[in-house]
Amino acid sequence: MKAINGGQFKKGESGNPAGKPKGTPNKVTSDLRTFVNELLNNNRKQIIKDLKALEAHQRVVIFEKLLGYAIPKMQSVEAKIDYNDLSEEQLDMIIQELTKNMSDGKENRNRT
């Protein structure tokens, strides 16, 4: 826990080792979450009634916004392949799949 260059501490260290542990929620944030949860739980019937009073497209917008809190958003995954490590057979299979997918795409575009 020694200070370096101009009184700054090393990354991950602080001048107060007995301070708030990492990941401990802020008291205000914690209190606000509790308040909002209680507010929603105590007013469920009214919230449902209000949602039913909305037009269909407005309900869809609200549901879409709420889903972000109930279901985690999917993230894209990037596959990195070192083609130098693949055998000739594996490379041929990849080429076949890509050309097949390209021809399938052309057929679908021609149908529309």
Q: Is the pLDDT reported for residue 5 higher than 60?
A: no
Would 19 be classed as within a structural domain?
A: no
Q: pLDDT for 43-89, tens place per residue?
A: 999 999 999 999 999 999 999 888 888 887 788 888 888 888 889 99
Domain range for 94: 25-111
Q: Label residue 14 by pLDDT band (50, 70, 90).
A: low
Report how many domains make up the chain: 1
Tokens read off for 68: 């972000």
Neighbours of 47 (CB within 10 A): 14
DSSP label at 1? -
Q: pLDDT for 17-43, tens place per residue?
A: 777 777 777 888 889 989 999 999 999
Phi-psi bin for 42: left (phi > 0), alpha (psi -120 to 50), beta? Answer: alpha
